[in-house]
Amino acid sequence: MANRLEEFKSYRLRMNDRIAKIDHLGIKRFFNLDTRAYENGALDAKTKELLGLVASTVLRCNDCIDYHIVQCVDAGWKDEEIYDALNVGLIVGGSIVVPHLRHAVESLDLARAEKNGGSVRQPD
């Protein structure tokens, strides 16, 4: 049985496929622009993922947090660095961010477990 991070990833893919079938140039172009915003440029892709994580944290979007947590792990950010970035998000955004900090830390644990292969730790 999939954990919530895997469920999110599969829902995201399924709905992105569905949206890709919509015949609307503006929507298609925005999705393309969104992808490109995190590619290497004046800043490297790794730094940009951290920017995306903090932006998602202060705007309090769990799905966006999940996406960028996975990307940050893939990009090679260490836990301590991710916590430090989340702390910036917490101080900027205040205690209203706390439920999303809980979510982010749980997602990070799930992403690490998946990365480490073997048993994906389920929340108890």
- Taking CB atoms within 8 Å and a gap of at least 24, the contacts of 51-56 are 53/82, 53/85, 53/86, 53/89, 53/104, 54/85, 54/86, 54/88, 54/89, 54/92
**Through-space distance between the first and last CA atoms of the chain, rounded to whole angstroms:** 14
Q: In this complex, which beta carbon is closest to a copy of itself, that of residue 66 or of residue 114?
A: 66
Q: Which is nearer to a copy of itself, 70 or 90 (CB)?
A: 90
- Of residues 27 through 86, those in contact with a copy of itself by CB under 8 A are 27, 29-31, 33-34, 36-38, 41-43, 47-48, 50-52, 54-61, 63-64, 78, 80-81, 83-86
Closest to a copy of itself by CB, 44 vs 74, is 44
Burial of 55 (0-12, 13-18, 19+ CB in 10 A): middle
Q: By CB under 8 A, is residue 124 in contact with a copy of itself?
A: yes
Structure tokens at 29: 């172009």
Q: Residue 79 has which token pair? A: 């836990």
Q: What is the DSSP letter of 21?
A: T
Q: Is 111 in the site for a copy of itself (CB under 8 A)?
A: no
Which residues in this chain contact a copy of itself in the complex, by CB under 8 A? 11-12, 14-16, 18-19, 22-27, 29-31, 33-34, 36-38, 41-43, 47-48, 50-52, 54-61, 63-64, 78, 80-81, 83-99, 101-102, 105-106, 109, 123-124
